[in-house]
Structure 1
């Protein structure tokens, strides 16, 4: 068993060019309430969040769709009394209607969603407010225009986008500065490096990788699937199908081998690789266990040389990644183009 690297939480960084400072590693709170099996006990999760903040992990990530709604309530309870110590990020725009994912970005929805999130979180202002998915029916300029009003009213401080294409990011940024783009980025999800990452850097936008541990695969390998609850949505993801999982085993085996040489865990190696992408990158690994949280924090102490980075990347690339990220890729950045502003007919 590899010896875990020791924890270090001194690092902070600036996201975007508007002044938002966050911990270099955040905490994704989704799995506490949704998608990864049954919701976990509130008090345990509140204690976990408090522990994370005490260790310097102050960048908390939630969304109104997690639950739905219950994760925001949970996070709101957890930050009661410590609001000034955390950077609070939540999202709007994605919701399930009759079991189908619907995306909304019209002004009335944006405003109503923000007001509802403020109430559930029991705060006066949201630090970073993301559009969770891009509404292909509404020009991005219209959505950002309403978010700009919310900034001016003091209800949100900074605007973010999630799963947005490079062109959508550019159009949005022209209306109001975008502070951060959230996207899936890990050793087995690197397609964003071609266009999206360079666009963010050109425009001075921070990068927030979600699922930096490949939804747990880069931590545990194929055995992860054996311990998932029946309603864990990873069971329906293409990369976790029996056929693809068998092929993807090689990726974990190679990461495990390199991690052993580095005297760290596989998850620490994979997370350290994300941290080494730049000082504008703040990954948000999620967990519901203190042990895993401490292990994730330890990744901040893992130093990788350019040669080691190349070795890690080459080992994964040569193995190949089998399966899409989602069973339906329709609501990812690959399909986030919106109509031109000239086509918009506002509701009066």
Structure 2
């Protein structure tokens, strides 16, 4: 295989607020050992001023390869974030130019910055100058009435010239006024063809397709025309669905992965989290999506949720959940 074919971004799990925390990332690492995982978006200003920096940046070594996603519009603060990403041993840093929420817009970052390609370029240039890590950008195909192939190409060209090494393109435009973030993930129509056409116009750039990829087959199809396939909600809602991706995308030997294997693999991480004062539910809240479509799944999820949320819930809850799955052949 070529280096491009084995690059981690060939299959990645998108950054998702309240979803892709360190516990979910460790869960996904049981399912794919080679996918690129992303942090939740961290605001550069918070990184600069917060006394919670360790909590915002810390991750388990098993999560590699991992990208830190940041949001902001201040080149100096974003350069500082890039240096922190290097210091904390992330594998890349990604700039969020895709989030359409009103709160993010109020801070003048996220998707609204697609209207300011020169500012985005200055941010990317500052980040690139501050770190040897790859600096990548996640963005939409357009916003509001700024939604043409010419504008999309001009945006990518300008930001690429500043040092962006990869573009993760959500194949929907964003409406900044009138739709909330959830609606912006579903109401604007998917336009994979526009991302594919961007790749055709700029074959020398690394273009990753995001949006509406619901199955491994969708990802394999996306990789016929783009350099990478990024999965979001479908990975969170159906994590075990992606167990074949290391074989299909990265050419690794196939393995028969069961839900019980995933739970067992999480035990060391859960033990460390509990020993540092964490709650078992912090991790188990992500597990309720692990088992689906089989008899007894609803009962297993309900029991795990009930027991893991009790005060003082310990590792035996997770061990028992794994035992139940093994006995059921799951």
Please classify the TM superposition score into its range, dividing by the shorter chain length. Answer: 0.3 to 0.5
Q: TM-score, normalised by structure 2?
A: 0.46
Q: TM-score, normalised by structure 1?
A: 0.44
